[in-house]
Structure 1
Amino acid sequence: MSDTFEEDLLEDKIKTNVWDPVLFRRMARYTKPYLGRVFIGTVLVFIMSGFAILPPALAGATVDIVFTHGNSVLARMIGGGVEFFLPKFADFSAMDKLIVMASLFFLMRVGAFFTEWGNGYLLAGLGQRVIHDIRMELFTHIHRLSLSYFHRHPVGRLVTRTTNDVGAMEEMFSTALVMILKDIVMLGGIVVVLLAINLKLGLIAMSVVPVMLVATLIFRKYARAAYRKWRAALSRINAFTAEVLGGVRVVQLFHKEERNDAAYDEIGQEYKTHFIDQRTAWAIFRPVSTTLSATGIALVIWFGGAAVLGEFNVSGDQAFTLGLLFMFIGYAELFFTPIRDLTEKFEVVQGAMTAAERIFTITDEPRTIVNKPGAQDFGRVKGEVKFEDVLFEYKPGEPVLRGVDFTIQPGQTVAIVGHTGAGKTTIINLVCRFYDIQGGSVKVDGHDVRDWTLEGLRRNVATVHQDVFLFAGTVFDNVRLGDEDIPREKVIEACKYVGAHDFIEKLDGGYDAKVEEGGKTFSAGERQLLSFARALVFDPAILILDEATSSIDTHTEELIQEALVKLTKGRTSIVIAHRLSTIQKADRILVMHKGKLAESGTHQELLAHKGLYHKLYELQYQALDDVEKEPELAIDKAPALSPRHSSGALRTAAATATGKTGPAAEDTSHEKAAGRGAGDAS
């Protein structure tokens, strides 16, 4: 068994037991807004149970009243009740009495139909309302958790929580709890009737119950362990599937289909094994419970039949009639049905309790990035960004930034360069306050980012990443991100500004063209242009470009470089770039090395300093000279500032030297580079 499976299994363990009262109370609080429905539903359950209990007694009384004329306590009770409404019932002919008894049975079934229908409709609505509340609480909590939480938990596992686990709770709230209450009421009613009519035969009928309880306890222990392992395996399947499908380009690029097939088969085998174990438990328990039920019925027939024949005394001086035997046989059969149902409902409740605990594990996860008491929205900023002796670590004891100090003045364009892991992306994450620092301060316009409300801070900042995510919907909605306050004219103006308008107009539907999830039908360059329009339409005071041009072909880059000049005008711009040629005009360049600010200055100042930046610059442009001589070898030798690094000039020169020129060659090179980067990361 893999370590991952063990982790999933550990996560899925129930704290105490299936009937954990603390967990039940926590689940029950979701019904508080709907107590009226709960009360009416409970009343209907008692009425339903009464309708379910009466038929055997009515059938037995019919035998004694109509056919055998037995003077049993049952015949007197039912007959007396009928005579209350029909005073001359005792004088009716046998056929008339039969018609009356059959009519009573029919009316009882009609009443049962309407109460069951009303209860089902009422509680189905209750279940859906409760589940909607749970689902909304879970969803709203998940996408407000800090980014560090998503680094620790696979997306597929979270999808399982919001779908499969919520679905398991839905069945319990919609049907299982109602049926459990009904079964308990029925059991109590049957026991009272049996013992009241004939104590001795009632005890005989229930004599197999202790054996059934022991069998149930054994079954519960085995089935619970199997169920837990099965749910853990299901979670692994979902997580693995989401991961592989999300990286299918990398999988195909490196021919890892067979390896993933084998891994998926291993997980599937675990799932199959634990599912079969769970079903095996039921396959054993059901015939055992049926056999025990049949044993109880057989004992009633044996001893009750002997009592009717006068061979066994169960009633003292009173005769045990055929009608009483009919009633006891009916109740003996009815008695074991709710017992079996309760055991089977155990599976539903068990699944719901397991699912609830898994869901509550998420909802109990503290939101670490929240507005502190007294946080303010300071409005539109000028754009000053200041780091003062910043210490930050993702994991305790492993600092990513150490003693970082710098100030970006309003309207400046500042580039950040450095090797992988130097802390470049961490810096922009801290500006947006996706994480909190361990030491020092990060300030925007003189205010610590922790003193800002999250909404106020992030309204002033827009980030454009290399990997642009587009949501399912229309182009128009993707640019404005569903913000109803942004008019169509402003979206079109922004798209024209960044050069996206022309290709959008060529789409079927234009700005109303449908976008697939992730924007798979758009090229990398087109997605990038849309992301620029998205940033522009929100008019941020601080613009962050995280390798925003590193996966774009040369032709598209020319378009957006022009747009960038307009986009950054009047805004503070922070640029993370690996093409050093694209940042030469930056007002300032910060060179990060091993979590520290190694150098700072303009392009010319840093070259003159002949430090780390000069070395990176020389290495990158030395690669260009190598391309002209040995293009294929140079691509392999080219130094990378990060796994995603891909020098546009280097690729263009290589394409020219090898005869593969134009945007297509550029795109292909970037796709391969992106694929290798993702592959290495995995």
Structure 2
Amino acid sequence: MSNNIAGKTYDWGLLKRVFVYAKPYKSVFFWSVFLTLSLAALAPARPYLVQLTLDKYVFFSDSSGLLNMTLLMIAILLLQTLVQYYQTLLTNSLGQSVIKDLRVDIFNHIIKLRLKYFDKTPIGQLITRTVSDLESIADIFSQGLISIIGDSLQVITIIAVMLYADWRLTLVVLIPMPFLMIATYVFKEAIKSAFQDVRTQIALLNNFLQEHISGVSIIQYFAREEQEYNKFYNINAEHRDAHIRSNWYYSIFFPVVELISALSIGLLVWYGSKSMLSNQVSPGVVVSFIMYINMLFRPIRELADKFNTLQMGMVGADRIFKVLDTDEKTVNNGTTVLPAMKGEIEFKNVWFSYKQTDEMPSESEWILKNISFSLKEGETLALVGATGAGKSSTINILNRFYEISKGAVSIDGVNINNFELSYLRAQIATVLQDVFLFSDTIQNNISLKNPEITLEQIIEAAKDVGAHDFIMRLPGGYQYNVQERGATLSVGQAQLVSFIRALVHQPKILVLDEATSSVDTETEHLIQIAIEKLMLGRTSIVIAHRLSTIQNADKIIVLEKGEIMEIGTHQELLQLNGYYKRLYDLQFGSTGIKKD
């Protein structure tokens, strides 16, 4: 949470940024303000009419005048009701319209951030930003600034009318006002701290839930249900306690306000009675003052709450704009779009570290060190090596998910930084070991709802990779919903769907990252056929632990701690009797027979 925002009642710079989003709805905004001012102006009307009715008609038994004043008060009441209805409707509509646009902007911003940002930012925190923090911004309009202005004007208007009616009586009934101001200030500061605690606990709760629901299988595999339940119980209890603390302040403040209000009315009865007996004030004025006091104390009581609503909206806005101001997008200054990309790849003296700072990484922080290789159109490169050798980092660089520290990467002789980013990534299809499928139909998971990809193209691609038959056996075929993360499909089936997805997007470069390491031998054979179809005519980079899947590669690179140890074909590397040969012997033995 922003400490500087939390320490202020309001921040005009932040409010200005929020109100920029209200510009498309300026007519709604101005009508909201107008109706709010109208309510403030109408507030003293009824008490004043009651005063006139008592003093001029009731005490003189003027039934005709009494009827006219009654009808006028009913008309004023109906007008106030109508104005209140539209004021509430418009302010809430304005708030929801603003956060709708803000939510679209923040989602659009988040999905364009570099993967490095998500490496260090909890997903639950981002969910809190885009949901509950945004809702607090809506309150700036519906219950915050506009309402504060209206309530403040109502207080000023009522006091002005009271002074006009009888200034001495007004001063008497305002004697308790300093106590109310002190109580309001103390409440505002206390509830501000409580609200901040509530927001913090909500973020912690969201983080915990998102992480543990996503990883529920691990919890069950290791029988950690009881321990994780206890953790959640404690976090949830702290969340409850934070809410109770905030409610406790309300339970103290509101009775205090009622007590001060009652004191004010008591002073009114005491001084008003004396004034009436001495004919210094009329009974109508005393009765109207009782109404004025109630109308005066209600907005003052609510102002403290609304100031905190405004402040919490600004805390939410501060968090939202910090995400929007995050300068971790991949720079997209490139404009190059080739008429027909061939897919010739070259890495030239590439150095890479996940520590992306102005300072050069230390020796232990380099992930890739002086990597150089080239691939011609249609060739296949295989990357092998131990976990952490830098294989996946190589393909992340090619997609510009991360930026290199030194060196250059080019495709068809053009530095990848010079390509228009969406064009570059559209030319590269990546099939990962851990396939991600959305909770949607197979068709939509393949096309990603691209209207240019037809069902006929999907079916043709499915037949090419040998997946059409299994899809048609599913209920609904291509309209079958695979549920979250493809939970209703086997690993091999999900992998085949990802191959179809890669094929229908017609990439020039294909990247396979451990695409067969999680499937059984029979499914691997089917997937190998699909891979051959995919790789046909495409430049391909394959990462695989199973050396049997890469023996036909045009080039094999052996990586060790970010450095190229060997490069060559399968046979050439075996003859070197080095790193690759040792890996091969570990899997197949010296006889060449695969070990189980």
- Does the CA-based 8 Å contact 2:44-2:161 persist in structure 1? no
Q: Deviations over 1:227-261 (max 9, x none)?
A: 21221111011111111111111111111212211
The answer on 1:600 being equivalent to 2:567 is yes
1:371 matched to 2:332? The reply is yes
1:167 is paired with a residue of what secondary structure? helix
Are residue 382 (structure 1) and residue 342 (structure 2) matched?
Answer: yes
Match of 1:164 in 2: 132
- 1:368 CA displacement: 3.3
What does residue 91 of structure 2 align with? Answer: 123
SS of match in other structure, 2:22: helix
Amino acid at match of 1:620: Q
- Do the aligned partners of 2:125 and 2:206 also contact (CA within 8 Å) in 1? yes
The residue aligned with 1:436 is 403
Tell me whether 1:271 sits opposite 2:262 in the alignment: no
Give the alignment's Cα RMSD to 1 decimal.
1.9
Length, aligned pairs only: 589
Percent sequence identity is 40
Q: Confirm whether residue 401 of structure 1 aligns to residue 361 of structure 2.
A: no
Going from structure 1 to structure 2, the CA distance change for 1:400 and 1:347 (only over 3 Å counts) comes to: same
Mapped partners of 2:530, 2:23: distance in 1: 55
The alpha-carbon deviation at position 519 of structure 1 amounts to 1.1
Aligned counterpart in structure 1 of residue 33 of structure 2, from 28, 35, 42: 42
Q: Aligned to 1:194, which of 150, 162, 181?
A: 162
Change (3 A) 1:31 1:623: farther
* Residue 148 of structure 1 pairs with residue 108 of structure 2: no
User: What code does the residue aligned with 2:239 have?
Assistant: Y
The equivalent of 2:463 in structure 1 is 496
Match of 1:230 among 177, 198, 202: 198
Amino acid at match of 2:199: R
TM-score normalised by L of structure 1: 0.83
Q: Match for residue 483 of structure 1? A: 450
Alignment of 1:421-570 (within 5 A): 421-570=388-537
Does 2:14 match 1:23? yes
Q: How is 1:9-408 mapped onto 2 (pairs within 5 angstroms)?
A: 10=1, 14=5, 16-69=7-60, 94-310=62-278, 319-372=280-333, 375-395=335-355, 396=357, 397=361, 398-408=365-375
Gapped regions of structure 1 (runs ≥ 5) = 1-9, 70-92, 311-317, 629-648, 654-682
Shift in CA distance, 11/349, structure 1 to aligned 2, threshold 3 Å: closer
Change (3 A) 1:57 1:472: same
TM (norm. structure 2) is 0.95
Aligned residues of 1:464 and 1:544 also touching (Cα < 8 A): yes
Judged with a 3 Å threshold, the aligned counterparts in structure 2 of structure 1 residues 624 and 131 are, in CA distance, closer, same or farther, namely: farther
Find the residue that maps to 1:394 and give its secondary structure.
Answer: coil
Paired residue secondary structure (1:514): coil
Contact 1:381 1:541 in 2 (8 A): yes
Cα deviation, 1:627-669, whole Å, max 9, x if unaligned, reads: x9xxxxxxxxxxxxxxxxxxxx65xx3xxxxxxxxxxxxxxxx
The Cα shift of 1:30 comes to 1.2
Deviation (angstroms), 1:567: 1.3
- Which segments of 5 or more consecutive residues in structure 2 lack a partner in the other structure? none
Which residue type is aligned with residue 281 of structure 1?
Y
Distance 2:546 2:2 in 1: 44
- How far 1:15 sits from its partner (Å)? 5.6
Q: CA deviation at 1:622?
A: 4.8
Q: Could you tell me how far apart the structure 2 residues matched to 1:168 and 1:459 are?
A: 38
- Give the whole-Å Cα distance in 2 for the aligned partners of 1:430 and 1:148: 12
Stretch deviating more after TM superposition (591-600 or 506-515): 506-515
Within a 5 Å distance, the mapping from 1:415-426 to structure 2 comes to 415-426=382-393
Instruction: For 1:562-601, list aligned pairs within 5 A.
Output: 562-601=529-568
Give the letter aligned to residue 378 of structure 1: L
CA distance in 2, matches of 1:191, 1:232: 40
C-alpha contact (below 8 Å) 1:415/1:590 kept by paired residues: yes
1:316-368 CA distances to partner (integer Å, 9 max, x unpaired)? xx721111111111111211010011112233223211111111110010143
SS at match of 1:250: helix
| Offset at residue 581 of structure 1 (A) | 1.6
Asked whether the 8 Å contact 1:380–1:460 carries over to 2, the reply is no
| 1:279 positional shift | 1.8
Report the Cα offset of residue 16 of structure 1: 4.4
2:263 alignment partner AA: T
Letter in 2 for 1:602: T
Rounded Cα–Cα distance in structure 1 between residues aligned with 2:4 and 2:504: 48
Q: Could you report, residue by residue, the CA deviation over 1:20-74 in whole angstroms, capped at 9, with x for unpaired residues?
A: 11111111111112222222222222222233221111112211112335xxxxx
1:575-654 → structure 2 map (5 Å cutoff): 575-622=542-589, 653=596
1:207 is paired with a residue whose SS is: coil
Cα distance in 2 for residues equivalent to 1:510 and 1:571: 29
Q: Is the 8 A contact 1:432 1:457 kept in 2?
A: yes
**Aligned position for 1:662:** none
| Inter-partner Cα distance in structure 2 for 1:118 and 1:504 | 54
Checking the alignment, whether the CA contact within 8 Å between 2:155 and 2:296 is kept in structure 1 is yes
- Whether the aligned pair in 1 keeps the contact of 2:43 and 2:158 (CA below 8 Å) is no
Question: CA separation in 1, counterparts of 2:185 and 2:175?
Answer: 17
Tell me which moved more, 206-215 or 533-542: 206-215
Q: Shift of residue 495 of structure 1?
A: 0.5
The CA distance in 2 between the partners of 1:430 and 1:199, in whole Å, is: 77
Judge which range, 186-195 or 126-135, deviates more: 126-135
Query: Conserved in 2, the CA contact under 8 Å of 1:18 and 1:353?
Result: no
State how far apart, in whole Å, the 1-side matches of 2:496 and 2:24 are.
Answer: 48
Counterpart secondary structure, 1:575 = strand
Q: Distance in 2 between matches of 1:380 and 1:138?
A: 34
How far 1:101 moved relative to its partner?
A: 1.2
Q: Which has the larger radius of gyration?
A: 1
Residue 659 of structure 1 aligns with which residue? none
Preserved contact between residue 475 and residue 513 of structure 1 (Cα < 8 Å): yes
Moved over 6 A (4+): none
Superposed displacement of residue 196, structure 1: 1.5
- The structural deviation recorded for 1:578 is 0.7
Shift of 1:293: 1.8
Give the C-alpha shift of residue 294 in structure 1.
1.7
1:509: how far off? 1.1
- Separation in 1 of the partners of 2:343 and 2:330? 22
State whether residues 375 and 450 of structure 1, in contact with CA within 8 Å, keep that contact through their aligned partners in structure 2. Answer: no
Counterpart contact for 2:433–2:515, Cα < 8 Å: yes
Paired AA for residue 330 in structure 1: M
Please tell me whether the aligned partners of residues 188 and 305 of structure 2 are also in contact (alpha carbons under 8 angstroms): no
Aligned AA (2:354): Y
Query: Relative to 1, partners in 2 of residues 1:228 and 1:206: Cα closer, same or farther, differing over 3 Å?
Result: same
Alignment deviations for residues 575-601 of structure 1 (CA, whole Å, 9 cap, x no partner) = 011111211121111111111111111
Q: Using the alignment, how far apart are the partners of 1:623 and 1:226 within structure 2?
A: 69
